[in-house]
Amino acid sequence: MDIQLVHLQTLEAVARHGSFSRAARELRLTQPAVSMQVRQLEGTLGLPLLERVGKRTYTTKAGELLIAHAGRAMRELARGVELVQQLKGIVAGRVRLGTSASFSIYLLPRALRRFRTRYPHTELVVVTGNAPEIARAVVANALDVGIVSLPVRERELAVTALHRDELVAIGPSDRRWPRGRRVKAAELAGEPLILFEQGATLRRVIDDWFHRGGAAPVLPMELGNTEAIKKLVEAGLGLSVTSWFAAKAEVRARRLTAARLEPALFRQIGIVLRRDKPRTPVLDAFLATLDDLRRSLT
């Protein structure tokens, strides 16, 4: 039976994302090309491997079985390639990283560029999602490593601290915060607010801060994108609470203003991977790059 490795990789990407379009972006293919590869694989096996329920795509029983066995085969193949490359003194292989969109924009670009420059024979796949999604994917070995807001609950994961992120209040350029005084929850709760969407780890951290301050935002505008939140704040539509590292460029350019919170609010960002994850040269090299990033952020 002629089954092509690239078709199996495409099926795995669609199953992991639950979306043909997201899989196409990761694989740098067109959506029709992804659909064609899955159809060809289904035609070879004579069974449907995926099914659509609403807007999301799920694996059938046949798809689950194939991905489980093919995944082991692909990992062994990748490991074999890495070992061959080691004989030539080359660090090679693929690292699948899961993280949030904001971390990939504001925190990681320099480190990822340094890794690719230092190890040009490696392949780096970056998948974005919320912390619970990333943690589950690392547990399932669909991702090698995650960078997420802590805590995570999965016992299978080993956690290493990366950065203690301070959250600040932000406002438009003409906002005058009390000089030298921190902003309390009750003060912010009385303002129009633009916050990250419900369910996100960052939003839970912010809501808990308001609760401890004896206040609650009244019908805040909710968005799932930090850049969009900053643009609406810049336009004068409300205030927000966000990471300092996400807002500092606009604050320094005087497009936004910022104030520290009372009490101070932090979230811990961590690196997660399976406790039993086999260590390979490419994974060790990537973790060393993240350790360099950790030291640079202190």
pLDDT of residue 1: 65
Would you state the structure tokens that stand for residue 202, as one six-digit string?
A: 């960052």
Is 209:261 a contact under the CB 8 Å cutoff? yes
How far apart CA 64 and CA 79 sit, in angstroms, is: 23
Q: What amino acid is encoded at 204 in this protein?
A: R
Torsion of CA 290, 295, 297, 298, to 10 degrees: 150
pLDDT of residue 89: 67
pLDDT of residue 260: 96
How far apart CA 110 and CA 112 sit, in angstroms, is: 6
Is 188:169 a contact under the CB 8 Å cutoff? yes
Is 104:146 a contact under the CB 8 Å cutoff? no
pLDDT of residue 87: 65
Torsion of CA 145, 146, 151, 157, to 10 degrees: -20
How far apart CA 111 and CA 81 sit, in angstroms, is: 25
pLDDT of residue 283: 93
Helix (H, G, I), strand (E, B) or coil at 263: strand
How far apart CA 58 and CA 215 sit, in angstroms, is: 41
pLDDT of residue 88: 66
Strands 157-172 and 256-274: antiparallel
How far apart CA 53 and CA 18 sit, in angstroms, is: 10
Is 286:147 a contact under the CB 8 Å cutoff? no
Is 94:123 a contact under the CB 8 Å cutoff? yes
Q: Work out the number of other CB atoms within 10 angstroms of the CB of residue 269.
A: 24
- Give all domains of the chain, ordered by start, each with its CATH number: 1-90 (1.10.10.10), 93-298 (3.40.190.290)
Is 233:191 a contact under the CB 8 Å cutoff? no
DSSP state of 106: I
pLDDT of residue 270: 97
**pTM for the full model?**
0.71
Whole-number Cα distances in Å, 137 to 111, 123, 267: 22, 19, 22
How far apart CA 286 and CA 145 sit, in angstroms, is: 9
How much of the chain is helix, strand and coil, in % rounded to 5? Answer: 45, 25, 25
Any bridge partners for residue 242, and if so which?
Answer: 168
Of 243, 287, 291, 248, which Cα lies nearest the Cα of 265? Answer: 243
Mean pLDDT by 10 residues, the chain (298 residues): 83 90 89 92 91 87 88 77 70 90 94 94 90 92 94 94 96 90 94 91 93 93 94 97 96 96 96 93 94 92
